[in-house]
C-alpha cells in the first residue's frame, strides 16, 4: 500500500531523511516513533504529497509521487494536531465543504454517518468554535474520512488533548481502522501506540532503525524496545544534524 525506497530529503545542506526505506501492507496500523527532529513529520508530508523528496522513490496505493499526486490525494485522509477546520462554520458545514471537494456521493447521508462515527451526531449544527479541543479533533477525523480514503496519515493527533478527549479519540480511531484502512501514525505516546498499532517503526537520524510487530513486543515492553532502538545508533554515525 505504501512503499519508500532510499528516500532522501534535504533542506539546503541539511539532510533530514537519509536513505529511508519503508513498507506498509494494506490494513496495517503502523506507529512511527522517534525523538523530536527525527524526520517523522517531513516523511508524512512527503507521503501526503505536500513535500517532494530530494532523492528516492515513493509509491502510495500503486501511484508514484510526486508525479501522480492527484491520484494519491483521493485515497488519503490526513490528520495532524491542528484540526484544519473552519471555526465559523458548523460541523455539518465543514463536512459538506470537504465532501464537495472530493465529490462525495450521497453527501448528506455520508455526513450523518460520519458524525455518528465520531460521536458528534448531536452537535453537527453547532459552530466549530463552540467545540472543545477534543470535539474539534474528532470532527477533524470526520473531515479526514469523509471521502472514505484507503489510507490515513496521522501526525501527533493527540497533541493538546486531555485524558478524556484522548480516550474518545482512541475509540474513534479503533472504529475507523476496524473498517480495514491502512494507517501510519506518528506519536510520542508509547502506551497509546502500543494499544492501537499493529506495528512499530523507530525513525531517527533520517532512517528506520528498527521495526517490530505488536505480537513481538511484550505487554508494556514498547518503551524498552524504543530505547534500545534509539540507543543502538552511536552519535555521529549518521551525521551531526537531525531533521
Most confident of 74-83, 89-98, 129-138, 217-226: 89-98
Cβ distance 189 to 223 under 8 Å? Answer: no
The torsion of the CA quartet 214, 218, 220, 226, rounded to 10 degrees, works out to -70
Kindly report the length of the chain.
Answer: 243
| Region(s) of the chain under CATH 3.40.50.300 | 1-75+152-243
Q: What is the pLDDT of residue 163?
A: 86
Tell me the sheet residues that pair with 3: 23, 59
Residues of the chain with pLDDT > 70, as a percent, come to 95
Total Cβ atoms within 10 A of residue 69: 15
Total Cβ atoms within 10 A of residue 195: 13
Q: What is the pLDDT of residue 243?
A: 43
**Closest C-alpha to 136, from 170, 153, 160:** 160
pLDDT in tens, 167-190: 888 988 898 888 889 999 999 989
Arithmetic mean of pLDDT, 153-174: 88
Q: What is the pLDDT of residue 233?
A: 61
Q: What rounded mean pLDDT belongs to the chain?
A: 91
Give, in order, the Cα–Cα distances in Å from 64 to each of 30, 32, 77, 105. 21, 21, 17, 27
Q: What is the pLDDT of residue 73?
A: 93
Residues of the chain with pLDDT > 90, as a percent, come to 75
The whole-angstrom separation of Cα 83 and Cα 72 is: 21
Q: Sign of the C-alpha dihedral, residues 124, 126, 131, 136? A: positive
pLDDT in tens, 40-60: 999 999 999 999 999 999 999
Confidence band of 238 (pLDDT split at 50, 70, 90): very low
Q: What is the reported pTM?
A: 0.90
Q: Which CATH superfamily groups domain 1-75+152-243?
A: P-loop containing nucleotide triphosphate hydrolases (3.40.50.300)
Predicted confidence (pLDDT) at residue 131 exceeds the cutoff of 80 = yes
Amino acid at each position: 500500500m505504501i512503499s519508500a525506497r532510499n528516500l532522501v530529503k534535504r533542506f539546503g545542506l541539511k539532510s533530514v531523511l537519509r536513505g529511508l526505506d519503508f513498507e506498509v501492507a494494506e490494513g496495517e496500523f503502523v506507529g512511527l516513533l522517534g525523538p523530536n527532529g527525527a524526520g517523522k513529520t517531513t516523511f508524512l508530508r512527503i507521503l501526503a504529497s505536500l513535500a517532494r523528496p530530494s532523492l528516492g522513490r515513493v509509491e502510495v496505493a500503486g501511484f508514484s509521487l510526486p508525479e501522480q499526486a492527484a491520484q494519491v490525494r483521493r485515497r488519503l485522509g490526513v490528520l495532524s494536531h491542528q484540526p484544519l477546520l473552519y471555526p465559523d462554520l458548523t460541523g455539518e458545514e465543514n463536512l459538506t465543504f470537504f465532501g464537495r471537494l472530493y465529490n462525495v456521493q450521497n453527501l448528506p447521508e455520508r455526513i450523518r454517518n460520519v458524525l455518528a462515527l465520531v460521536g458528534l451526531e448531536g452537535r453537527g449544527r453547532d459552530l466549530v468554535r463552540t467545540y472543545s479541543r477534543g470535539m474539534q479533533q474528532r470532527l477533524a477525523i470526520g473531515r479526514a474520512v469523509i471521502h472514505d480514503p484507503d489510507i490515513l496519515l496521522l501526525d501527533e493527533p493527540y497533541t493538546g488533548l486531555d485524558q478524556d478527549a484522548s480516550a474518545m479519540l482512541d475509540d474513534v480511531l479503533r472504529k475507523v481502522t476496524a473498517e480495514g484502512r491502512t494507517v501510519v501514525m506518528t506519536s510520542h505516546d508509547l502506551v497509546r501506540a502500543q494499544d492501537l498499532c499493529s506495528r512499530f517503526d523507530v525513525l531517527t537520524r533520517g532512517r528506520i532503525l528498527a521495526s517490530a510487530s505488536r505480537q513481538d513486543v511484550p505487554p508494556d515492553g514498547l518503551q524498552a524496545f524504543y530505547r534500545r532502538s534509539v540507543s543502538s545508533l552511536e552519535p555521529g554515525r549518521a551525521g551531526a544534524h537531525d531533521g
